[in-house]
Amino acid sequence: MLRLLVAVAFLFGAAAAGNFSKDVTITWGNGNGKVLDGGQLVSLSLDNSTGSGFESNDQFLFGRFDVQMKLVPNNSAGTVTTFYMSSQGDAHDEIDLEFLGNASGQPYTLHTNVFAKGVGGREQQIRLWFNPTAAFHTYTILWNSQRIFILVDNIPVRVFNNNEAKGVPFPNTQLMKVYASLWNADDWATQGGRVKTDWSLAPFTAYYRNYNANACVVTASGNSCANSTVGNQAWQTQGLDANSRNRLRWVQDKYMIYNYCTDAKRFPKGFPKECRLPRF
């Protein structure tokens, strides 16, 4: 198992940390979002008046986006902590990581989704196999023209392939920013909304550190990946080798609790086209 983990970590690598003071802006929260430690840490808090969030200052077209997070501890029921990417407009693209809180002692759920051209509904959920509140763990969105990877501690937990040639929309034309937030969703987040947020425990706080965007930054003056150095990064053609495919199967077979591609009640007339294509 150790050799497999090392192989996966080597395959996907890790990027150097940026600085929140330069890279992001706290966009909402009435003071509940804070940049700390000279830009090395962000805290996002939720109380019964508001949550909080930040967004990247740059916008991107493909890249690898890493952040370390320590989630809301103890009874986090009703809360949702996020790290995601999105474009703007009704026909937007989006890549979601949403961490659904739970009652004390229960595992966190990682809820993922992919929107392309305004259409989502591609939800998968896994139980995290560790306590994400006890220490920082690394969460990654790797997005290139061929596929999207979602990684947890450099272990692939989801792949969404570009199957546009087979009629499946894929996010590959719209610029996206990185976003993070902590908000209340006790109407659905924990056990389908049956467990509500206990406001006597507020404020709820999550922490972010070591954010890095190793990516194509697009501005009015051009695309940074036109530079020969930036435009020759491993993430641009990243695929799965045999070891990482085995690790992905391990996560999905052992820890997946929901997959839209197996929800026959939701799709009584047949699953979406991508569900009938090879997983990897």
Question: What CATH number does the domain containing 233 carry?
Answer: 2.60.120.200
State residue 7's pLDDT score. 41
Residue 141, CA distances (Å) to 14, 84, 273 in order = 12, 8, 23
State residue 9's pLDDT score. 44
pTM to 2 decimal places: 0.93
Residues 170-181 pLDDT 10s: 999 999 999 999
Residue 145 has pLDDT above 80, yes or no: yes
Q: Read off the DSSP letter of residue 220.
A: T
- Please choose, from the candidates 158, 167, 185, the residue with its C-alpha nearest in 3D space to the C-alpha of residue 247: 158
Give me the count of residues in the chain. 280
Quote the CA–CA distance of 279 and 144 in Å, as a whole number: 17
Q: Which of 98, 123, 164, 274 is catalytic?
A: 98
State residue 52's pLDDT score. 98
Count structural domains, the chain: 1
Report the range of poorest mean pLDDT among 4-18, 66-80, 116-130, 194-208. 4-18
Spell out a b/e string for 105-140, using b for 16 or more CB atoms within 10 Å of the CB, else e.
eebbbbbbbbbbeeeeebbbbbebeeebbeebbbbb
Segments forming the whole domain that contains residue 212: 2-276
Residue 199 has pLDDT above 70, yes or no: yes
For tokens 């983990």, what's the residue? 5
Residues 156-167 pLDDT 10s: 999 999 999 999
Residue 74, CA distances (Å) to 77, 104, 184 in order = 9, 5, 16
Residue 118 has pLDDT above 60, yes or no: yes
94 counts as catalytic: yes
Confidence of residue 1 (pLDDT cuts 50, 70, 90): very low
Query: Across residues 106-125, what is the average pLDDT?
Result: 96
Query: Across residues 199-223, what is the average pLDDT?
Result: 96
State residue 146's pLDDT score. 95
Q: Which of 55, 94, 123, 164 is catalytic?
A: 94
123 counts as catalytic: no
Contact 127/143 with Cβ under 8 angstroms?
A: no
